[in-house]
């Protein structure tokens, strides 16, 4: 692992790091905020998955999470959204290819060799973080924004018991039924819609996957709300499955980081209450 940069912030250390990923076959960059702590202490960890077009830098620069993480003593990890670099397939569209990995392991050419973001997030990066940082992997939470909200929900649902807390900002809750998801899942996984179900939060819940509870914030002025995000489908799926869902519709807020950063401290505190038990 290579240290790209470190800086002091809010009584902690914000770092950016690079490593060679076995999952993607590329170098991957990620950021980690570690609050100051007693020698030998192991802290809970909160994973933040970013959305379309983003890198680790979007939330690192604009997420406004550090003060809240320092107050509750949580390590905050922000990965990239896709593999990048020479020889990595790409697409001219902003919602597919590099910057739009959708947290799946691609099976279709030309994406399959490198676009293995499910394995990267579920296995590769956690193993590195557990070795290199003072984290308690028995106390993990996960959250994300937009495409990253989709990733947070599906990864938690596929890994029961791994995450003590799960939340999302404006998540794509049913990608098999919206244009962004149909394009991505079809392109990466092929046209067999049965294979898409393990990458669709609502389908996973319908098929029996469970988490203890969910917190979701959604802006009512989000331009993508009706066509791409469809939070009402998550509400229906959770009601049918008996999963407690706190869905907060926020008047006047759009889809960007002005929205996500406004409610970031709420989410960090919510995770902290569950990870601190």
Give catalytic residue positions.
146, 222, 255
3-state SS, 169-202, equals: ECCCCCHHHCHHHHHHHHHHHCCCHHHHHHHCHH
Measuring CA to CA, which residue among 160, 152, 231 is closest to residue 199? 152
What is the distance between the terminal CA atoms of the chain, rounded to a whole angstrom?
A: 31
117 and 232 Cβ atoms separated by less than 8 Å: no
Rounded to an integer, what distance in angstroms lies between the CA atom of residue 171 and that of residue 249?
Answer: 12
Residue with structure tokens 């509750």? 72
Residues in the chain: 277
Alpha helices by DSSP H, the chain: 56-62, 66-72, 117-119, 125-132, 147-158, 179-189, 201-206, 231-241, 257-275
- Distance separating alpha carbons of residues 84 and 38, to the nearest angstrom: 37
Cβ–Cβ under 8 Å, residues 54 and 101: no
- Contacts of residue 194, defined as CB under 8 A and 6 or more positions apart, other chains included, come to none
């Amino acid at each position: 692992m290579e240290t790209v940069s470190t800086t002091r912030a809010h009584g902690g250390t914000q770092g950016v790091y690079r490593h060679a990923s076995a999952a993607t076959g590329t170098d991957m960059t990620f950021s980690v905020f570690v609050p100051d702590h007693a020698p030998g202490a192991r802290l809970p960890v909160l994973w933040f998955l970013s959305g379309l077009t983003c890198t680790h830098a979007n939330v690192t620069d604009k997420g406004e999470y550090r003060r809240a993480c320092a107050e509750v003593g949580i390590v905050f990890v922000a990965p990239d959204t896709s593999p990048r670099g020479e020889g990595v397939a790409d697409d001219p569209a902003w919602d597919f290819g590099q910057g739009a990995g959708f947290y799946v392991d691609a099976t279709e050419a030309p994406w399959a060799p490198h676009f293995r973001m499910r394995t990267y997030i579920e296995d590769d990066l956690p193993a590195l973080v557990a070795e290199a940082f003072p984290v308690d992997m028995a106390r993990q939470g996960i959250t994300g924004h937009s495409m990253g909200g989709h990733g947070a929900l599906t990864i938690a649902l596929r890994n029961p018991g791994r995450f003590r807390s799960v939340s999302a900002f404006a998540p794509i809750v049913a990608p098999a039924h919206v244009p962004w998801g149909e394009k991505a899942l079809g392109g990466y996984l092929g046209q067999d819609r049965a294979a898409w179900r393990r990458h669709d939060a609502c389908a996973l819940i319908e098929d029996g996957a469970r988490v203890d509870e969910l917190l979701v914030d959604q802006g009512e002025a989000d331009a993508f709300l009706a066509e791409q995000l469809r939070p009402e489908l998550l509400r229906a799926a959770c009601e049918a499955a008996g999963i407690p869902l706190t869905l907060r519709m926020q008047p006047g807020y759009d889809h960007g980081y002005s929205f996500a950063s406004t409610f970031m401290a709420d989410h960090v505190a919510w995770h902290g209450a569950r990870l601190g038990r």
